[in-house]
Amino acid sequence: MRGLLLALIGALIAMTAAQGQVGYTRRGEDYARFKVPSGDPAVCSSRCEHEARCRAWNFSYPRTASVAALCSLKTSVPPPLADACCVSGVRGAGIVAPRLRGVEFGIDRLGGDYRSFDMPAEPDGASCEIACKGDNRCRAFTYVRPGYIGASARCYLKDKIKPPRRKPCCVSGVVR
């Protein structure tokens, strides 16, 4: 009984230490690649969980409306490399978004928009946040990555704070 308990604790520690991370890629060792029409990295993670051969995975965000999100399943666990293009992880781990200056990764705050505009693609929506902070009317923002609603990234400035909704397309934040 004690051995089983120790094994269980060890497994929980191992699962906690290994996490899928936004902003990292794992290159090489692919045995399968497929498009992810929903653009959700959780689809890639889940597929890895259900395939015995899979040891790690890599999800690439869509680059434009015509270039779909891609998932690569891997036979080994290549080291993670910092790259805003991607989310990657190992089998048995959830997805962990970075926590930067109160920015909400994978969150859409739908509604309350008073202004929106196209902008250059960036990994963290920093320019959208700056635009919101520079406008006294703006209370919150949502940055939508390219390829989800159009070819380019889009920034939505909001005069109302709406509830957060999990959506991989977006980076949001509340500024006032």
113 neighbors 157 (Cβ within 8 angstroms): yes
Contacting residues for 136 by C-beta, under 8 A, at least 6 apart: none
> Tell me, what's the pLDDT at 38?
86
Q: Considering only residues 102 and 175, tell me which one the structure prediction assigns the higher pLDDT.
A: 175
- Using 50, 70 and 90 to split pLDDT, how confident is the model at 161? very high
Q: Which amino acid is at 3?
A: G
Of 98, 100, 103, 97, the residue nearest 174 (C-alpha): 103
Give the residue-averaged pLDDT of 130-148.
95
- Domains of the chain (ranges; CATH) run 18-96 (3.50.4.10), 104-174 (3.50.4.10)
> Tell me, what's the pLDDT at 11?
36
Contacting residues for 3 by C-beta, under 8 A, at least 6 apart: none
Name the β-bridge partners of 81.
25
| pTM, rounded to two decimals | 0.71
Give the residue-averaged pLDDT of 30-41.
93
Give the residue-averaged pLDDT of 155-169.
94
Specify the range with the lowest mean pLDDT, choosing from 1-5, 9-13, 127-131. 9-13
Average pLDDT, the chain: 85
> Tell me, what's the pLDDT at 113?
97
Checking if the pLDDT of 46 tops 70, the result is yes
Q: 129 in helix, strand or coil?
A: helix
20 neighbors 89 (Cβ within 8 angstroms): yes
Checking if the pLDDT of 69 tops 70, the result is yes
**What are the tens digits of pLDDT across the range 78-132?**
999 998 889 999 998 777 666 677 789 889 999 999 999 999 888 889 999 999 9
